[in-house]
Amino acid sequence: MQDRFTGNFTQQEPIPEAAIEAAVAVLRSGRLHRYNLVPGEAGEVALLEQEFAAKLGAKYCLAVASGGYALGAALRACGVGPGDRVLTNAFTLAPVPGAIAALGAEPVLVGVTPGLVIDLDDLARKIDASGARCLLLSHMRGHLADMRALMALCDAAGVTVIEDCAHTMGASWDGVPSGRFGRFGCFSTQTYKHLNSGEGGLLISDDAEAFARAVILSGSYMLYGSHLAAPGPEVFERVKYTTPNVSGRMDHLRAAILRPQLADLQRQCDRWNERYRVVEEVLRGTPGLTVIERPPAEAFVGSSIQALLPGWRAEDVQAVLARCAARGVELKWFGAPEPAGFTSTYASWRYAEFPPMPESDAVLAGLIDMRLPLTFSLEDCAQIGAIIRAEVSAVYQRQAAE
């Protein structure tokens, strides 16, 4: 009888006790709103912003209601508006092109490589063809492109880069933290990300005026003076009358939950990578399956793992998913014809028109994806990897026999 994995792919670790105690203290105060402070009090949100900026080496940080709100605020703060064309990845999740479309702007999709990063050759072509002057770059599923080459390309073309770092908090390229290359770095603290407050987001930047616009956009009214990781009042004077309020603040409760987790981020990232390497090693060499090789310059966070079934028929990929599911292993598939849960492809984003992208379609058609929650032990990960290897091999052998 085949073994079956019995773990839960959506179960997170408990919130740390220090975070629970901090949250209870906020609840007892009754002052959850970030600007509800007593004289001389910094507040949990401002302290979180200060600590996150220091951790990443950024001048400024803003805590907001969600990662999606962070994307929209960054786009607005960079001057993106109705009718503008904005470059973004064809391989990403729906909130990324959604943030562009929500502003009345037009997403222009750039292809994905078999390494699951944005195709720099296609990016160069799309910059020339579209006239777009902004790239909303998704580090999708934690895969970082060659950021030195990408920034050189975009800087030479006068393209502003905004980084979507929802899956790369704690990651870096060539020693530079994710989020520190573009004009803005946008992070998520939704439950499945590297810090967990249920929902939440963070923006970082070194651009004083763009950041001041983001603060006003977030709903600071004229209370921006209480921010600890923001430019001086003279910068706000230049933008406060011309920047709309699109309220999306973080509250003290979520910030209190996040601050102890932030202090422990590196240890957690190391634990994710331990689990990733166990699964990766078991999968390596599986007939018909390609492991995604990580470049030496990339320090990634393996909170999920991806692999390719290149050239496989849709029905055979579906067979692998079904066989793994029957043994308790939940795989997602980016080649499915219909969106499912959080997983969708550009064919489902029908609020915009996109030309065919056959090279990217070929990559996505065989792309399988799996979460690696920290509630899994290393032994769990070895078992999961062995189940996937066995079921892929079985379907592959059946293909070969046909």
- Please, what is the Cα angle at 86 between 148 and 164, to 5 degrees? 55
Structure-model confidence comparison of residues 337 and 97, the more confident one: 97
Contact predicate 224/236, CB 8 Å? yes
> With 80 as the cut, is the pLDDT of residue 354 above it?
yes
Structure-model confidence comparison of residues 347 and 395, the more confident one: 395
Helix segments in 202-340, DSSP class H: 208-217, 233-239, 252-263, 265-283, 314-326
Domain residue spans of the chain: 17-263, 265-401
CA–CA distance, 19 with 32 (Å, rounded to integer): 15
CA–CA distance, 101 with 124 (Å, rounded to integer): 22
pLDDT at 344: 87
Positive or negative torsion for Cα 388, 389, 394, 398: positive
Which CATH number does 17-263 carry?
Answer: 3.40.640.10
Strands 176-177 and 172-173: antiparallel
Over range 13-28, report the average pLDDT.
98
Tens-place pLDDT, residues 223-239:
999 999 999 999 999 99
pLDDT at 338: 87
Over range 135-155, report the average pLDDT.
98
Tens-place pLDDT, residues 125-135:
999 999 999 99
For the whole model, what pTM was predicted? 0.97
> With 90 as the cut, is the pLDDT of residue 337 above it?
no
> With 90 as the cut, is the pLDDT of residue 400 above it?
no
Sheet arrangement for strand 85-89: 60-64, 201-205, 184-188, 160-164, 134-138, 85-89, 106-110
* pLDDT bracket for residue 143 (50, 70, 90): very high
Over range 169-191, report the average pLDDT.
98
pLDDT at 111: 98
**β partners of residue 187:** 202
For the packed helices 17-29 and 252-263, what is the interaxial angle rounded to 10 degrees?
160
Mean pLDDT of all residues belonging to the chain: 97
> With 90 as the cut, is the pLDDT of residue 170 above it?
yes
Contact predicate 235/209, CB 8 Å? yes
CA–CA distance, 20 with 258 (Å, rounded to integer): 10
Tens-place pLDDT, residues 78-95:
999 999 999 999 999 999
> With 80 as the cut, is the pLDDT of residue 1 above it?
no
pLDDT at 339: 87
Per CATH, the homologous superfamily of domain 265-401 is Aspartate Aminotransferase, domain 1 (3.90.1150.10)
- Helix H or strand E encompassing 95: helix 95-101
> With 90 as the cut, is the pLDDT of residue 386 above it?
yes
* pLDDT bracket for residue 2 (50, 70, 90): confident
Percent of the residues in the chain that have a pLDDT greater than 70, as a whole number: 100
Q: Which amino acid is at 311?
A: G
Token pair of 179 as six digits? 């989020």
> With 70 as the cut, is the pLDDT of residue 347 above it?
yes
Q: 31, exposed or middle or buried, with CB in 10 Å at 0-12, 13-18, 19+? A: middle
pLDDT at 192: 95
